[in-house]
Amino acid sequence: MPPTKARGEPAPAVPPKLRVVNFVKRANLVLMFALELVVLAAPVLWACTAFESVVPKILVSFLLLGALITGWFTIGAQRANKPISIWTRSFRELVWFSAGVLLLWLSNQHTVAIVFAALVVVNLALRLVWNQLPVTSQKWFVDLDGESGEIG
């Protein structure tokens, strides 16, 4: 049975080409999330390869993770009331992902670092083309009732 609208009218069929484009756009956003997770894993990988003892590995991992997260919240997070430009947002993301590339490179994962850098560039280019960058101030959460609110 074909999908229907709320009024019982049949919904217009989505062309297969548009379905593929929408799938690729969603996959690009999933890739963005995965790339962010790699940036957060890179300091741990570097610390594990740079030190032999367990205590420095743990301490340096937490310190680098804290520095990356703090840097993102102070420089890259969308907390301002005024919108930022697409180019400012893109530059911030390139700095963020460059930290991941650098840490992967320093942990002797040269091939992974190169592939990661290429994926970052392709992902950012596609998000620019498809207008998938958040360039206005964002709400921090949405209530279950559907009302938005900001923290602070």
- Structural domain harbouring 98: 26-136
Residue 105 lies in a domain: yes
Condensed to tens digits (0 to 9), the pLDDT of residues 46-99 reads 999 999 999 999 999 999 999 988 877 776 665 555 566 777 777 888 888 999
65 within domain boundaries: yes
The answer to whether residue 110 is domain-embedded is: yes
- Specify the number of domains making up the chain: 1
In a domain, 92, yes or no: yes
Q: Is 71 a domain residue?
A: yes
| CA 29 to chain centroid | 8
* 15, part of any domain: no
The answer as to whether 33 is a domain residue is: yes
Q: SS3 letters for 78-143?
A: CCCCCCCCHHHHHHHHHHHHHHHHHHHHHCCCHHHHHHHHHHHHHHHHHHHHCCCCCCCCCCCEEC
Model pTM greater than 0.85? no
pLDDT tens for 88-137 read: 777 888 888 999 999 999 999 999 999 999 999 999 889 888 888 765 44
Give tens-digit pLDDT for 3-51.
555 566 776 777 888 888 889 999 999 999 999 999 999 999 999 999 9
- For residues 3 and 10, the answer to whether their CB atoms sit within 8 Å is yes
Is position 18 within any domain?
no
